[in-house]
Amino acid sequence: MGTDENLEINLTSFFTAEYYQFELIFCFHSPEDVAVPVVKALIERYPDVDATICFQEHEIGFNPKINNMNPGYLVAKYPLIMISDSTIFMRPDGILDLAKRIMSHEKLGLITQIPYCMDRVGKANCFEQVFFGTSHSKIYLAGNFLGFNCPTGMSSIFKKAALEECGGMAAFKDYMAEDYFLGKNLAARGYKSGISNQPALQNSAATTFTSFANRVGGWAKLRIAMMPQVILVEPLQDCFPAGIIMAFSVYYLFDLNIPMTIFLNFLFWIFMDYMIMRVMQVNEPDATLPGVSIIKPIMGTDENLEINLTSFFTAEYYQFELIFCFHSPEDVAVPVVKALIERYPDVDATICFQEHEIGFNPKINNMNPGYLVAKYPLIMISDSTIFMRPDGILDLAKRIMSHEKLGLITQIPYCMDRVGKANCFEQVFFGTSHSKIYLAGNFLGFNCPTGMSSIFKKAALEECGGMAAFKDYMAEDYFLGKNLAARGYKSGISNQPALQNSAATTFTSFANRVGGWAKLRIAMMPQVILVEPLQDCFPAGIIMAFSVYYLFDLNIPMTIFLNFLFWIFMDYMIMRVMQNGPLTMSLIQFIGFWFLREF
């Protein structure tokens, strides 16, 4: 209903969505609506998209949104129904994500995208983004975790058969909060609801503090009218009321200092809000970014190699080349790469072979021929076991070009979801203790790159002597970062992790791999033997317990126990951030693998 300057952009994002079979049904109250010509022009521009316009014939109830949408619902022909407001911008794979989530379990009836905002200029827009990215998103995340009913009609998908069991869309014609009552009715029939891995990107043309206050105030009035008890509990979702209550509670129970508890709660709260907002943030295309040369050293193959390499051929970046580096033309992976090059002829891809050894490091020997022919100003090194998300290259390029002195950006190592206890254990290891090293190192400005998946500026590396300068270092990633830092360049981490996706992991192979890294670190920096145990829960907890006992006379066992609860909670939250969605293992399984890793 109506239009603004962003309407065409938002609607175009649906016409260009990457999903194999969908229809668009545009619902208007009247043929005189000023947005009708915009929609008709888009339908003419994209004739291959199945698009229809419906007009409201009459009112069927009290809810104007249901009156508007019901004619479209009646002509919808597919088993999945998505409702999306006109202010929503959809990422290319957004519909795919919603469809995969709702079809992942037979009893899932409704999947919601958590409301968030596109990046827009202006203080009011930034304030709105912080609101939706922190306190508002936590309601959905916590509600989904606890199994509460918290859908939004802004952008959701549901199974038509499930809605028909509730009486169809017309059954909600007299409810103003139709999304809430839809979720409630589905739950009463045994269906579950969930959240998408991607947020709903609101992209209205302009927001003012007044319009934002009126909008949020309207929601509050509606909630209070339906559930007056929210007046009592809603303040508890905010930092300071919750912190004050918690401070007096722990003072009563454990005699802990009240101001210190409030201060620590504040630090924890703002850190968690910042982390949640980082998760909500998405990448937007930017054609001003430079091209990327992606060097992929390969030796041998496994059953996941083709899947991993395909994720690079199909990457969503406007200008890149793939350079596959082999030790020998006889490598068994060469036919796999050649087949992919034939399958994707529009992708600029090259195969390089090692002519001779230039130094002690076999990986540098392998990659140097590819580096010498790379033609773009950004160089990415990515192992053959890495699976890349569609916007992963875009994220790396945006991060490294965000500051002139950034010379290196690393993706934190993590793992794809795979079956098997060893694979789950590996995922917990990389998603908790290992990722914290990178997060803490990046926060403190330490040098902690990984050669598994990184991007750097070629000009910066040339100042260090090029790739060949590291031919005699086994930990080439560490020394590359060290050399860049010595020349005034900074390093950082990507918003997305490096998704390791080797075919199979055993406890033995994992132990050998991690043990090899430990030997290399000890050989380079023997002092790590003294400090590395401090990154684990129980050694750190014991030291802290005796310290606070000495300083504040606090109970040692209670301090160790509280440290344990805080540590495992933070590890779980960090792993959820790395996963960017629900874990494939249960909470009990996570705790079991977490204890196994700690001991």
**So what's the pLDDT on residue 483?**
94
* Bridge partners, residue 413, by sequence: 498
194, 100 contact by CB (below 8 A): no
Residue 58 has pLDDT above 80, yes or no: yes
Distance, in Å, from the CA atom of 353 to the CA atom of 356, rounded to the nearest integer, reads 9
Report the candidate in 378, 389, 370, 392 with the shortest Cα–Cα distance to residue 295. 370
Helix spans in 430-555 (H): 435-444, 458-463, 476-486, 507-524, 528-531, 537-552
3-state secondary structure of 209: helix
23, 95 contact by CB (below 8 A): no
Report the candidate in 25, 56, 57, 29 with the shortest Cα–Cα distance to residue 43. 25
pLDDT digits (tens, 9 = 90+) for 146-162: 777 778 889 999 999 99
Residue 283 has pLDDT above 70, yes or no: no
Mean of the pLDDT values across residues 25-34? 92
Helix spans in 84-236 (H): 94-102, 123-131, 137-146, 160-165, 178-188, 209-226, 230-233
What share of the chain in percent tops pLDDT 70?
A: 99
Q: Could you tell me the two tokens for 224?
A: 């209070």
Q: What is the pTM of this model?
A: 0.69
Other CB atoms closer than 10 Å to residue 450's CB: what's the count?
A: 19
Bridge-based pairing of strands 406-410 and 453-457 is antiparallel
Residue 63 has pLDDT above 80, yes or no: yes
CB under 8 Å to 464, separation ≥6 — which residues?
480, 483, 484, 487
Confidence of residue 66 (pLDDT cuts 50, 70, 90): very high
CA atoms in the 13 A half-sphere facing the CB of 362: 5
Residue 580 has pLDDT above 80, yes or no: no
For tokens 């979702």, what's the residue?
237
pLDDT digits (tens, 9 = 90+) for 33-52: 999 999 999 999 999 999 99
Helix (H) or strand (E) holding 386: strand 386-387
Residue 351 has pLDDT above 80, yes or no: yes
Least confident of 318-327, 526-535, 551-560: 526-535
**So what's the pLDDT on residue 278?**
77
Distance, in Å, from the CA atom of 450 to the CA atom of 498, rounded to the nearest integer, reads 10
**So what's the pLDDT on residue 350?**
97
Confidence of residue 180 (pLDDT cuts 50, 70, 90): confident
**So what's the pLDDT on residue 206?**
74
Distance, in Å, from the CA atom of 307 to the CA atom of 191, rounded to the nearest integer, reads 33
**So what's the pLDDT on residue 357?**
92
Confidence of residue 379 (pLDDT cuts 50, 70, 90): very high
Q: Is 477 a catalytic residue?
A: yes
3-state secondary structure of 288: coil
Confidence of residue 581 (pLDDT cuts 50, 70, 90): low
Q: Which of 331, 477, 536, 571 is catalytic?
A: 477
Distance, in Å, from the CA atom of 55 to the CA atom of 67, rounded to the nearest integer, reads 10
For tokens 């589905």, what's the residue?
186
For the chain, the C-alpha Rg in angstroms (whole number) is 27
- Asked whether this chain's domains 7-206 and 292-411+450-504 adopt the same fold, the reply is yes
CATH of 292-411+450-504, one of 3.30.300.30, 3.90.550.10, 3.20.20.60, 3.40.50.720: 3.90.550.10
Residue 141 has pLDDT above 90, yes or no: no
Residue 521 has pLDDT above 90, yes or no: no
Would you kindly state where each structural domain of the chain is located, as residue ranges? 7-206, 238-280, 292-411+450-504, 528-598
Confidence of residue 474 (pLDDT cuts 50, 70, 90): confident
Fold of 7-206: Spore Coat Polysaccharide Biosynthesis Protein SpsA; Chain A (3.90.550)
385, 500 contact by CB (below 8 A): yes
Report the candidate in 426, 379, 428, 423 with the shortest Cα–Cα distance to residue 400. 379
Mean of the pLDDT values across residues 21-25? 96
Residue 530 has pLDDT above 90, yes or no: no
Distance, in Å, from the CA atom of 169 to the CA atom of 67, rounded to the nearest integer, reads 9
3-state secondary structure of 381: strand
Confidence of residue 285 (pLDDT cuts 50, 70, 90): low
Distance, in Å, from the CA atom of 26 to the CA atom of 71, rounded to the nearest integer, reads 10
**So what's the pLDDT on residue 53?**
95
Angle between helices 7-15 and 36-45 (to 10 degrees): 30
**So what's the pLDDT on residue 235?**
82
Mean of the pLDDT values across residues 296-320? 93
Residue 13 has pLDDT above 90, yes or no: yes
Residue 324 has pLDDT above 80, yes or no: yes
**So what's the pLDDT on residue 293?**
98
**So what's the pLDDT on residue 207?**
81
| Sheet containing strand 108-112, strands side by side | 80-84, 155-159, 108-112, 192-195
Mean pLDDT of the chain: 90
Mean of the pLDDT values across residues 397-412? 94
pLDDT digits (tens, 9 = 90+) for 254-281: 888 999 999 999 999 998 888 888 777 7
Residue 19 has pLDDT above 70, yes or no: yes
**So what's the pLDDT on residue 284?**
63
Amino acid identity, position 245: I
